[in-house]
Amino acid sequence: MYWISQGDCAVNIIEQDRQERIAVRLLVEGDHFGEIGLIYNCCRSASIVSRNYNTMARLRKDLFHKLVSDYPEYKEGLLKHIYKYKYKKKKFLRRAFNKISYMRDLPESIFHKAIYSLRSRLLEKDEIFLKEGDNTDSIIIVEKGILEFYTTFESNPFIIEQCHSGFVLNHKVIFMDD
């Protein structure tokens, strides 16, 4: 986790449409970044770009965990700060989660833990993502593009369904034995 002691930085994020949004926020002296990765043990959710010469203070992961262990109210303050972040991908995921009856209206703490544990995967055109016989071990949300379900009929591919951005797959069978 870093604090800006001198200078300023731009925050860039990649939204669910895979487009990078440049300078969605400006961080100035006294601002911090990197808390999401420390709290949720996830990959960085944004890129930070120095706009000029900067001086930063850094808090290592081990010291961060000691700090929040000794002062749990500090972690609670950071969580409230994270919950207020507004960006399109977060809204997109909220809408996708609301399509799943048991994930609708999740408390903020669980929703954020879930979204920061998600892993994106980029597929090439015509790449087979799932095939008959695969185990159902995760819920899948189509972020961008079209996912096609097909079978073979008379030696030709036959498209059963096209799933667009926001489609949620496996949420009804994830808890069933394969």
Q: Which of 22, 2, 1, 26 is nearest to 12 (CA)?
A: 22
**pLDDT per residue of the chain (178 residues) written in tens, 0 to 9:** 999 999 999 999 887 677 778 878 899 999 999 999 999 999 888 899 999 999 999 999 999 999 999 999 999 999 999 999 888 889 999 999 999 999 998 999 999 999 999 988 888 888 888 888 888 888 999 988 899 888 888 999 899 999 999 999 988 887 776 5
Which structure tokens are listed for 160?
A: 């059963």
Which structure tokens are listed for 67? 């700090």
Q: Which CATH architecture has domain 2-87?
A: Sandwich (2.60)
Tokens, residue 96: 């996708």
pTM of the model as a whole:
0.82
Residue 4 burial (CB count, 10 A):
20
Q: Return d(Cα 57, Cα 72) in angstroms, integer.
A: 21
CB 119 within 8 A of CB 144: no
Are residues 14 and 20 in contact, defined by beta-carbon separation less than 8 angstroms? yes
Domain residue ranges in the chain: 2-87, 123-178
CB–CB of 56/3 below 8 Å? yes
